[in-house]
A and B are shown apart, each in its own frame.
Chain A
Amino acid sequence: MDPVSNLWLRGSLVNPYYRTAFRVARVPREVVRHRTLVQLVSQTRQLVETDPKAHSIGGLPVTSSEVNTAQQTLMDPQARILEELLEHATEKLPLEAIRKLAQEVAQAMDAEGALSNPDIKPLELLAPTLIREFLTAVPGTGPSFGAVELETPPPFGQEEE
């Protein structure tokens, strides 16, 4: 497959954003591990072969042929990367930092024995610092890696996503 042919013109003026390889194959954009990819595509193929109407996009059933083409795209690293231009990256709420903040506050309250000792002055001093750290430390969205990724997803052959 020519990875640099026009992504937006695939033989007709059909909107290219509905039937991307990711949507057709039901593979999240964030999946990079080969084994997982093959597994998901296989499941989709089985689904459409068993029940042609089980997987539809915009009211039109996805065909086996489309799944095959999508698989070709996703298995070709360059074509797959370019296909990501057409697919939204996953976004997640930056909750981890809030949870961490809540945990630290709870720990600080336990350590101070808040229920038995009303003096929580040290916690008052700590809390704004924690909050300021949180507000400035929330990272921006990784443009291709999707959500607030704190680590690079593992390469092929290593850990599951």
Chain B
Amino acid sequence: MTSKPSPGSLLIDQAIAAVDDAQARSHPYRGWEALQARDADGNVIGLLPYTESALKDFEAAHRWNPEDVGVAHHLAIAHHAQAWDLELSGDSRAALAWKSALKYWRVVQNSSEFWVALEAKLGTCSPGADLGPIREARANLMEQLLAVHVEFIRHYCELGEAQRGNFHIAIIQEAQISPAVKKRLTQGVFAAMTASVAEAKTSGHHDSALVSIERFLALFSDYLPALRMHVEVTHAWLSTLSWQHEWESIQQLHHRASAPAAALAGHQALESDPLAWPALEELTFEFILRGFERGWSRFQDGESGGAIRRDEAKAALEVVHHWGRQAAPRLPAGSQALDALVGSLVVHGELLRQEAHESCRNVTDPRRGLTAARTLLEKAVQEVDEAGRFAGVNSDHLEQIDGLRSVVQGELASVQAQITRLDMGWIR
């Protein structure tokens, strides 16, 4: 038979249970203890911002009582400090630490209790003190914390290690913040990533300048200042290139600049930037000028140079068409650029006509040759018509356009008739 425990021992058990429970709720204290920096003799010499042990205790405290904003503040400091150290040492664990830190800082920001206590303490230290800076600090807390990431992006770009900034860019992109704050931070990232562009452009290192801008546009494809900057750097580069000796480079630049320029041309906020359209117009003019000079030169050589020269002419004129069509709605009537576009369409139409003539001479497969010729002539008609629309009613090109249209339409009709006769078996 077991003896009943004495009242005294029961009381002791209850007291132990009370102490155990107090200890369970003492994680904040243990965490704080774990932050104490000590010398070799164990004397406290300072307070560390974090230790692994402190983080564990504070996390336990947070699980015990998620409402305790004091613990959230401990965690915000500890995770943030740890993230910083990990980042500076290149440790990939920094990513998770940054996210944890921002999570807890947001808890702090959202806690009225925390900021009311801070304001009360300010009142204690300095009765009647202006509470504005504290309230401003609370309102701007996330923006200030995210500005840290903008600085890391800048730092890595300056080191030539832009890819190390990718995680920080992601943090900014994914942050739950107001559009105005996100806009300011994006401006900060843009400035950081394109800090070297001005100098690169001045010193003629256009390729590296474009690389910096393109790296930014890969992340923020619709950012108007970046699109304009790309157009401006492209223009600066293009201005140095000769259509006679550097046509390949011009063509590569055309392919590289097409998408950003198209994005700029179609941007809904284009009018908000008074420098955007002029930049695009200047670039358009440079491409049209060089493309037309090259195209016309090759067209004139084409009569003696054959198909190769004709194809080179077509390729050059197609550059003119791309840029001209994009800008045409905004180009003033009678402008040099619009005039060059009209001329280019007419010349291209003539080239298509010449190609159609060659195609008609296909004796191996006459129907195929005629069909191809019909397609070319139809396209030529379209381009001549397009030239007519751009030319307007007062253009000097009108007579030429009308003349070419008549000729091409006549030839198209003739080709169509030959195809019909072939199909009917009237000719072989």
Give A residues with C-beta under 8 Å from B: 3-4, 6-9, 13, 15-18, 22-23, 26, 32, 57, 77-78, 80-82, 84-95, 97-98, 101-102, 105, 114, 120-121, 123-124, 127-128, 131, 134-135, 138, 140-145, 152-153, 155-156
Contacts and interface: CB of A to CB of B under 8 A. Distances in A.
B118 interface: yes
A22 B124 CA distance: 18
A92 B160 CA distance: 48
7 contacts: A9-B144, A17-B77, A32-B124, A91-B31, A127-B14, A138-B25, A140-B65
B50 to A, nearest CB: 8
Nearest to A128: B14
A113 to B, nearest CB: 13
A88 B122 contact: no
Contacts of B180: none
Smallest CB-CB A-B distances: 7 pairs: A17-B49, A77-B126, A91-B32, A141-B70, A17-B81, A15-B84, A144-B117
Interface stretch (B132-140, B303-311, B407-415, B418-426): B132-140
B417 interface: no
Interface stretch (B146-154, B230-238, B378-386): B146-154
A89 B70 contact: yes
A47 B142 CA distance: 38
Nearest to B148: A8
A129 B11 CA distance: 12
B185 to A, nearest CB: 13
Nearest to B33: A91
Interface stretch (B15-23, B190-198, B290-298, B324-332): B15-23
Nearest to A89: B70
B46 A57 contact: yes
A14 B137 CA distance: 21
B15 A93 contact: no
Contact of A144 (B15, B26, B50, B118): B118
A155 B117 contact: no
B127 A82 contact: no
B155 interface: yes
Given A93-B22, A131-B18, A15 B81 contact: yes
A156 B129 CA distance: 14
Interface in B74-101: 74, 77-78, 80-81, 84-85, 88
Contacts of B88: 13, 15
A9 B154 CA distance: 13
Nearest to B10: A124
A51 B120 CA distance: 38
B68 A80 contact: no
A134 B125 contact: no
Contacts of A141: 28, 68, 70-71
A4 B133 contact: yes
**Which of A77, A95, A138, A155 has the most chain B CB atoms inside 10 A of its CB?**
A77
B29 A102 contact: no
A91 B155 CA distance: 37
Given A13-B88, A93-B22, A145-B117, A81 B122 contact: yes
B137 A82 contact: yes
Chain B interface size band reads 35 or more
Given A77-B126, A144-B114, A89 B14 contact: no
B113 A143 contact: yes
Contacts of B353: none
A155 B130 CA distance: 17
B133 A3 contact: yes
A95 B25 CA distance: 11
A94 B155 contact: no
Nearest to A97: B22
B49 to A, nearest CB: 4
B266 interface: no
Nearest to A146: B70
A134 B18 contact: yes
Contact of B32 (A8, A88, A135): A88
Q: Which of B31, B50, B144 has the most CB of A within 10 A?
A: B144
Contact of A89 (B74, B129, B134, B145): B74
Contacts of B341: none
Contacts of A134: 18, 22
Interface in B48-85: 49-50, 65, 68-71, 73-74, 77-78, 80-81, 84-85
A121 to B, nearest CB: 7
Contacts of B144: 6-9
Nearest to B140: A4
Interface in B172-214: none
Contacts of B155: 13
Contacts of B122: 77-78, 81
Contact of B70 (A3, A13, A80, A140): A140
B170 interface: no
Contacts of A80: 125
Contacts of A87: 47, 77
Given A92-B29, A141-B70, 18 more contacts: A13-B151, A13-B155, A16-B84, A17-B49, A78-B126, A78-B130, A78-B134, A88-B49, A89-B70, A91-B28, A98-B22, A114-B8, A121-B7, A123-B11, A135-B18, A141-B68, A144-B114, A144-B120
